[in-house]
A and B are shown apart, each in its own frame.
Chain A
Amino acid sequence: MTEENYFHHALYVDTVQCNGCVHCVRVCPTEAIRVKKGFAVIDANKCVDCGNCYRVCPVKAIKVEQDDLTAIFNYPVRVALIPSVFIGRFAQDIKTETIYGALLKLGFTYVFEVEHGVSTVAEGIRSYIAANPQVRPLISSYCPAVVRLIQVRYPSLADHIIRVKPPVDVSAIYCRKFFEDQGCDPEQTGIFYITPCAAKIAAFKSPVGESKSPLSGVINLDFLYNKVLAIIYQDRKNLTAEFQSPPASAIKWSLTRGEVSCSTVRALAVDGMHEISDILEKIEEGQIKGIDFLEMKACQEGCAGGILTAGNTFLTVANMERRASMKSHTCSCEVSPLHYYQSFLSGLISLSPVEPRSGLKLDQDVEKAMAKLESLRKIELLLPGIDCSACGAPTCHALAEDLVQDKGNISQCPYMDLLSLNRGQISGAEALDHAENVWTGRIKD
């Protein structure tokens, strides 16, 4: 596959809703979005599916591609693989067994929590860190948006990513094997992950470090939350199911510091795309020393802050912490469902190397790139430098980058156009046409 169409994205722009404002353009950590002819356009080679655009869009024009719930009925065995943030999303007066019961009523035949896979992953991470002392710090592969950010913006750190699969993959592999051992055809076992974010949907569609995802499909957590809540409102008393909660420390794995708190090495936890970028820059420059393990989660407070977790992030965190502390007070003699599969799973948890990609180059060829960089620096001196985004690019620098790569026109800048108009180089009508290349149809009206 060529680098140009390597990435599959779960985020897309609904051009009916999009009004061409630049909120998304300005928050994108990889500067992947431009407004052209009245709509936001996402550059597939730069997008890492972090969802910052989704959060800020005032008209809900950023959509998340997802599997339809009816897709589960293509399989006789239908597993809902739920992350613990899904349980945490519900108010405290709704019992876990009620949520499990509602999922079964929706049509799933089995409900399993992702975090049962945590102990296998934590063990894998521990051995990986011990076996690779020459690379420091090693970075968790947990968050797919972080893995992609490293590929695109910090390619020199690609070999710092710990080549151990995240808990969702381990749990999915376990479920498939478990049902196979029960006599179910693996092809007939549908394993559906309920995702708190878009990055995990993209990771399922085009996995990094795996040839194929062990999942059958991915379902939007927010969508399913609403479905489950509706059933609970209608039939709360009759909903129940047997369930086993993951261990207390595993429940919090998806929260910020969840991985670090299970670690015995020198570790650091960071969340939020901006803070993550700052730390990755410093690591590249050799400024950060004395850290063995780095946990990074694109969303603030980890997956509780996922774009599809919706609701209030801190309430979700509080619910999860409460559940974990209740769990830690119960009998610890429980055997993990994965216990009898440890040796089977430990042979399957490795990821292939993460391929670096270069999302920042001006040109493939060094000499051409240098020439482009020279003209970029000259153009930057001409532009106003106020980063207003009226041109449809996030900053004046980003517009200059577009210009030297023939991806834009200087007339997109309203200040430059005003200058040309004042000098008599263009007519008023031409200036309006130029403006409409960014803001279609809303100026002349």
Chain B
Amino acid sequence: MDLDYNIEGGDFTHAGEASSHLKKILKSLNLDSALIRRTVVAMYEAEVNVVAHAWSGTIHVNIQPDHIQIAVRDSGPGITDVELAMQKGYSTASAAVREMGFGAGMGLPNIKENSDFMDITSEPGNGTILKIVNRIKP
């Protein structure tokens, strides 16, 4: 099953709606509640990353009987040093974003913590592609 979402950069008010929708879908599939939670938390963080850093983005979710794959593609400034961005507390968020309670530098580490597989490819000046896979245990 495939689900597609569009994310608008800068729209913090509606950040989280895509993950909220995915959550309803996953609940209807009777998946383990801990798996749902991990997946949705990871997706929410990814959603906020697009809203906070990029101009726009899309999320494609593919659900298979044994795994959930989430691909987040954005057009934005990209990440110059992925390894640095993965460190807890490291953030490039602007002061304005931090004032709204975001940008604590926990986004990517939190995604990693809540996913079984995570991969980032980024082209500075162009955009970022984030892939997350969570396994569905029988």
Contacts and interface: CB of A to CB of B under 8 A. Distances in A.
A282 interface: yes
Interface in A270-284: 281-282, 284
A356 B23 contact: no
Contact of B31 (A286, A289, A356, A366): A366
A284 B41 CA distance: 8
Bin the interface of chain B by size: 20 to 34
B29 A287 contact: no
Interface in B1-40: 1, 16, 19-20, 23-25, 27-31, 33-34, 36-37, 40
A367 B63 CA distance: 10
A364 B138 CA distance: 12
Contacts of A358: 27, 30, 33
Interface string B45-65: 100000000000000000101
10 contacts: A156-B33, A281-B20, A284-B23, A286-B44, A286-B45, A289-B101, A360-B24, A362-B30, A369-B29, A373-B25
A365 B31 CA distance: 9
B40 A366 contact: no
What interface size band does chain A fall in? 20 to 34
Interface of B: 1, 16, 19-20, 23-25, 27-31, 33-34, 36-37, 40-41, 44-45, 63, 65, 101, 110, 136
Given A282-B16, A285-B16, A373 B44 contact: no
Contacts of A356: 33
A362 B23 CA distance: 14
Contact of B30 (A158, A284, A286, A369): A369
A370 B37 contact: no
Interface string A361-400: 1111111011001101000000000000000000000000
A366 B20 contact: no
A391 B76 CA distance: 46
B37 A360 contact: no
B16 A364 contact: no
Contact of B44 (A285, A367, A369): A285
